[in-house]
Amino acid sequence: MTAHRPCAGFGFLLLCGCVASAVLGRSNPVSAQDAEPFATADRCIACHQGVTTRDGEGVSIGHDWRASMMANSARDPYWQAAVRREIMDHPEAAREIEAQCSRCHMPMANVVAQREGGAGQVFANLSVDGDDGIGALAADGVSCTVCHQVAAANLGTEDSFSGGFAVDPSAPSEGRPVFGPFEPDAGGAGIMHSATGFRPQEGAHVQSSELCATCHTLFTHSVRPGGEAGPEFPEQVPYLEWRASAFAGERSCQDCHMPAVEDEEVPVTMVLGRARPDVSRHVFRGGNFFMLRMLNRYRDELGTAALPAEMELSALRTEDHLRNATASVEVTGAEVQIGDLGRRLAFAVEVRNHAGHKFPTGYPSRRAWLHVVVTSAGGRVLFESGALAADGSIAGDDHDEDGSAYEPHHAEIRSPAQVQVYQSVMTDGAGRVTTGLASAEAWAKDNRLLPKGFDAGAAGERAAVLGAARSDDDFGPGGDRVRYSVEVGRYEGPFTVAARLRFQPIGYRWAENLAAYDAFETRRFLRYYREMAAGSAISVAEAVVFAN
């Protein structure tokens, strides 16, 4: 894959956290042993702060990162609740489940545990107090010194997926390499090495989507009775979706999710920092505005380290990204028709996906749907499909009403009881709908919006369209077209048709299904969710037309 541009922010994160001691006249250098094989991000932030643009906008790598979901991956209360649910369902596989889940949510602790002959633990590591050791590594989430030590050797291969990133175990403890897209300055490299034991090296692979793919391409296996492993299940494959789209080779993951500082050069560190072009922001723009606000609201309980204003800014940036770079909606062909079914308003809603992968993508709790409202000239609501309730459920969605069912894909909608929901739906070995990853063996439905240029043959069955969307001629690369037919009877126009594409990172059933599990993590998350459910979704695109 050819990178579109250097991703300076994601690369060249100088690991000179304790150089602040030298700058302030202190003599407390960090030993090579302390840096083997990782250091927590506070050491990095000591230098990677205080950077602004000429307009005064803060673009510090460390401050942007600490308010991201990457930094908070281990604190995420939904992830913790989901892991607890899985090991309660499958206690015989608890060790394997925690090892796989910790691999990408607390990767430094996982690597250290495996190096010492153990398996990555989730809850035991989270219970460790103190500023040092494996507990601190676990709490630091997807941190600086894991991403920047990933070697290029296996990137892009099947072996690299599902957390198969490689941190070179043969690297000497003195001067372990950390990679970035720039040739390091001699002065900065020297300070980093003397302060931390690490040595920066130029490594173009940190610019590539293949680096992100190591964790954002995840295959799981169900746990069958007796502990037998079920078939491979593609839990999330945004990299495979991207690779089969028109974006591959033109725009990398970092281009969208780590946008560059525009139109000027800035340093990446305040210590001997030379201005660089195309420095990428460590904002990691994704889709989970809801979790960012949850981490902020319950920060004392969850140990959120970023400042409240930083977390809210991160949530706002996420919403802005969703609204401006994700999708668009258009209402077309609206006209009143008179026929055997009476007087009806016919129109179509066209949705275009502007992302470089399916929308939504990633963890299958995410869903998008069409909220469509038709009103008469007098303002009377004649039709509404897809209204969001205060508890986070969608009116008319079969899965929200009955956890054993799911809403099918629709080519045409005629009733308020029908709603177009773009989602993936998992089933277990018996074909039952499930929200448990360790039970999932197949997809019953995947009608998530396809990216532009999506090549089904190149994507393969692991990223395929499944369910009724597969035979819908109006569903294809780049988006979907849904026909609506609404009875208007004696009411007069002009009629107003308002269509919104809404997005929810954690669907109602994915939260409420945890109610059956009596554990601290599940009870805590459900309390959070129920208190915040009214704000669990936003509109990412909308259109309004008038028709007579």
pLDDT 10s per residue in the chain (548 long)?
Answer: 333 333 333 222 222 333 333 332 323 333 334 446 898 988 888 887 888 899 889 988 899 999 999 999 999 999 999 999 999 999 999 999 999 999 999 999 999 998 888 888 999 998 876 556 889 999 999 999 999 999 999 999 999 999 999 998 677 777 788 998 777 887 878 877 777 778 888 888 998 999 999 999 999 999 998 888 999 999 999 999 999 999 998 999 999 999 999 889 988 888 767 888 888 889 999 999 999 999 999 999 999 999 999 999 999 999 999 999 999 999 999 999 998 888 999 999 999 999 999 999 999 999 999 999 999 999 999 999 999 999 999 999 999 999 999 999 999 999 999 999 999 999 999 999 999 999 999 999 999 999 999 999 999 999 999 999 999 999 999 999 999 999 999 999 999 999 999 999 999 999 999 999 999 999 999 999 999 999 999 999 999 999 98
| 400, 393 contact by CB (below 8 A) | yes
CA distance 501 to 332: 15
CA distance 256 to 38: 28
Give the pLDDT of residue 10.
26
For 402, counting Cβ atoms within 10 Å of its Cβ (0-12 exposed, 13-18 middle, 19+ buried), the class is: exposed
| 227, 432 contact by CB (below 8 A) | no
CA distance 497 to 349: 10
Q: What are phi and psi of 83, to 5 degrees?
A: -65, -40
Beta bridge partners of 381: 375
Q: Between the CA of residue 357 and those of 98, 236, 239, 327, 477, what are the distances in Å?
A: 28, 11, 8, 12, 10
Give the pLDDT of residue 31.
39
CA distance 310 to 292: 10
Residues 6+ apart with CB under 8 A from 34: 196, 197
Q: What are phi and psi of 445, to 5 degrees?
A: -150, 135
The dihedral through the CA atoms of 117, 122, 124, 127 has a sign that is positive
Question: Residues in the chain, how many?
Answer: 548
């569903």: which residue's tokens?
475
DSSP secondary structure letter of residue 359: B
Tokens of 116: 């010492």
CA distance 253 to 280: 12
Give the pLDDT of residue 20.
34
Give the pLDDT of residue 196.
73
| 192, 200 contact by CB (below 8 A) | yes
Give the pLDDT of residue 242.
98
pTM: 0.92
